[in-house]
Structure 1
Amino acid sequence: MILSYRVDRLLAESRFHDCLVFAAEELLATHQEIPKEVRYLSDLQKWLLSQATLALHFEHRLDPARPPISPTNLLRFLAGTPIASRNTVLAFLNEMRHYGLVEQIACADRRQRMFRARPYTEDLIRRWYGTHLEALDRIDTAGRAARLRNDPDLIVYAQTRMARLMLSSSGWCHPPSSVGLFTRAESGSNVLHELAARAPWHLPAGRVWIGPVSASGVAARYRISQSHTARILAAARGAGLIGWEFPGNRGNCWVSSDFVIDYRSWQALKFSAVSEAFSQAVARAG
């Protein structure tokens, strides 16, 4: 049986630190490898739109009577959440089509535009999900990632269930202000992972020293604008989340313990949903 984890159990488990560090390193490495593709996960709104779009696609695969991807259907999927307006949804799907992540499908009503995810896009979400399963395996060596590799179609139900869990989680969609400062910014999640994952599991009170951090170094690693990165770091510094030994952001960097705790609590919501959805997918597959 594949275990699932409640948020409180994850936060009480010291090996959750290994899980978080592994996931952060893998996600950041993926950004360096395929920056164009992962820009669709570069802020929380795009992350949620991407997951909802793929969930629509997979639900239609599970049951062709369910609606496929379309602007109207995506808005219905997001009903009850303040995630995106109709114009945002239209722009998002147009961009996904432009970059070849979805393709238009035939529809009897030519006024409607229906889409499906391309196989490459399915591979991308399977890779993302597999990274999180491998991170969870750092806790209990349950072999989740190997199970997905051996049965790739598990992603169809697992991602759908996970997406619905995440969309119903107000704590995930509305993260703490310390986390939201990063997730609202384009590519801010990369900076967030890099800073928070450097902290040790056992946190001292107040400041946690994490070594050198510079806007130029972060920008170069993730191929984002140095000025944009500097603005994110400046906003975090102004909020008291980070600081440096010396003026001008020189010397070693520190992050606040409260900021790291907020990050871990927010990430635990995601990992709990990933574990629960995958456990249900495995049970459903028999």
Structure 2
Amino acid sequence: MAFSADELAHHPNFLASIRLLAGDMRGMFDAAPRLARLLASHQRWLLTQTAYALSLQHDPEDASTGFTAVALTARITDYKVASRNTVLNFIDELLTYRFIAHTPGEERRRPRHFEPAEVSHQAMYGWFLSNLTALDLIDEGNRAACFQANPELMRLAHPLIAENCLHNDGWREPPEQVGLFLWTEAGGMVVDHLISRIDLQSCDGERYSVGRIETRNLAGDFMMSRTHLQRLFAKAVQQGCLGWYDEPKKTQLWLSKAFLQNYCGWQAIKFAYVDQAFEFAKTQIEQDPVRFAVCA
């Protein structure tokens, strides 16, 4: 039985799961910075997930299916996530860095179909595995192990996750405090880093300790200007998202409990869709015992 978003948001283990996922996302960035930046702002997250879902749905016998510029533009502009030019620039960037390629044999056809490079498949596999591992932390489940034994679950589950997240305005439009970070270039990486550092035992009722933060080093890590990061932090302080224990030195950071509750409530929407899609995909392949590796 999959969790609902409300069950996840109020589960006592959910913040620990969020912190685990945030640490995994920071590790993904360290391993492949340019690729990880595709998930580093909410707009790019929606673009990337939608594009990948379209690629998984490609039927070679049906030219209207799959990842094309027309299909991605239509899906994204329908929900006012980005303009047509932004979508086309995004596709050009994916091609430039070889995260996607034209589907072999279709380079001259219209519409042109794209398919993910192996590095992109691996990154999305890692993203899905990390989300399942975080869910397992909540209820001591075996989703991650089941997925590793049955990787074809991805093709069935991922398009459902991407479509549901894009359709849900609660996920598509994060709460104001959360959006402050996520609508900013590299802001998603900043949030992941801060949440991965929180001390779960440090809550004094209103805030959690993050520890020592050096803005110069953090900006350098994420390939953003220090001025941009400082402005982001200043706005977050004004909105009560975070603050410093040691004004005016500004080295020891805290995150507010209210901000984390907002963030967890927003993340719970996506996690619920991940859990539901996993259960659906698992049920589908269980019907084919030759393909399915039984999950203990």
Aligned residues: 283
1:266 matched to which residue of 2? 266
Give the SS at the match of 2:78. Answer: coil
1:13 matched to which residue of 2? 11
1:77 is matched by which residue type in structure 2? R
CA distance in structure 1 between the partners assigned to 2:249 and 2:145 by the alignment? 43
2:290 matched to which residue of 1? none
* 1:118 and 2:117 correspond: yes
* Residue-by-residue CA offset, 1:34-73 (whole Å, 9 max, x unaligned): 1011111110000000000001000115x74251211111
1:233 matched to which residue of 2? 233
Matched-pair contact (CA < 8 Å) for 2:52–2:116: yes
CA distance in structure 2 between the partners assigned to 1:201 and 1:263 by the alignment? 18
* 1:167 and 2:163 correspond: no
Deviation at 1:203, TM superposition (A): 5.2
* Residue-by-residue CA offset, 1:206-249 (whole Å, 9 max, x unaligned): 44333222312422444443333222212212323222133345
1:275 matched to which residue of 2? 275
1:177 matched to which residue of 2? 176
Matched-pair contact (CA < 8 Å) for 2:21–2:131: yes
CA distance in structure 2 between the partners assigned to 1:266 and 1:202 by the alignment? 23
CA distance in structure 1 between the partners assigned to 2:58 and 2:130 by the alignment? 25
Give 4+ residue runs of structure 1 displaced > 6 Å after superposition: none
CA distance in structure 2 between the partners assigned to 1:141 and 1:29 by the alignment? 23
Matched-pair contact (CA < 8 Å) for 2:161–2:274: yes
Structure 1 stretches of 5 or more lacking a match? none
**Cα distance change on mapping 1:154 and 1:72 into 2, 3 Å:** same
Deviation at 1:24, TM superposition (A): 0.8
CA distance in structure 2 between the partners assigned to 1:144 and 1:155 by the alignment? 12
* Residue-by-residue CA offset, 1:141-170 (whole Å, 9 max, x unaligned): 221111111111111111111001100111
Deviation at 1:202, TM superposition (A): 8.9
* Residue-by-residue CA offset, 1:5-31 (whole Å, 9 max, x unaligned): 101111222121221111111111111
1:213 is matched by which residue type in structure 2? I
**Cα distance change on mapping 1:195 and 1:120 into 2, 3 Å:** closer
TM-score w.r.t. length of structure 1: 0.91
**Cα distance change on mapping 1:277 and 1:173 into 2, 3 Å:** same
Deviates more, 1:173-182 or 1:148-157: 148-157
Give the SS at the match of 2:67. Answer: coil
**Cα distance change on mapping 1:156 and 1:204 into 2, 3 Å:** same
CA distance in structure 1 between the partners assigned to 2:260 and 2:121 by the alignment? 32
Deviates more, 1:236-245 or 1:172-181: 236-245
Deviates more, 1:224-233 or 1:259-268: 224-233
CA distance in structure 1 between the partners assigned to 2:202 and 2:285 by the alignment? 39
TM-score w.r.t. length of structure 2: 0.88
1:195 matched to which residue of 2? 194
| 1:136-147 correspondence to structure 2 within 5 Å | 136-147=135-146
Give the SS at the match of 1:60. Answer: coil
Matched-pair contact (CA < 8 Å) for 1:215–1:233: no
CA distance in structure 2 between the partners assigned to 1:64 and 1:30 by the alignment? 35
1:68 matched to which residue of 2? 66
Matched-pair contact (CA < 8 Å) for 2:16–2:200: no
* 1:96 and 2:74 correspond: no
1:128 is matched by which residue type in structure 2? W
Matched-pair contact (CA < 8 Å) for 1:32–1:223: no
* 1:49 and 2:47 correspond: yes
Matched-pair contact (CA < 8 Å) for 2:58–2:65: yes
1:154 matched to which residue of 2? 153
CA distance in structure 2 between the partners assigned to 1:15 and 1:275 by the alignment? 16
Deviates more, 1:203-212 or 1:35-44: 203-212
CA distance in structure 1 between the partners assigned to 2:83 and 2:52 by the alignment? 18
2:79 matched to which residue of 1? 81
Give the SS at the match of 1:89. Answer: helix
Deviation at 1:109, TM superposition (A): 6.4
2:256 matched to which residue of 1? 256
1:36 matched to which residue of 2? 34
Deviates more, 1:218-227 or 1:96-105: 218-227
Structure 2 stretches of 5 or more lacking a match? 287-296
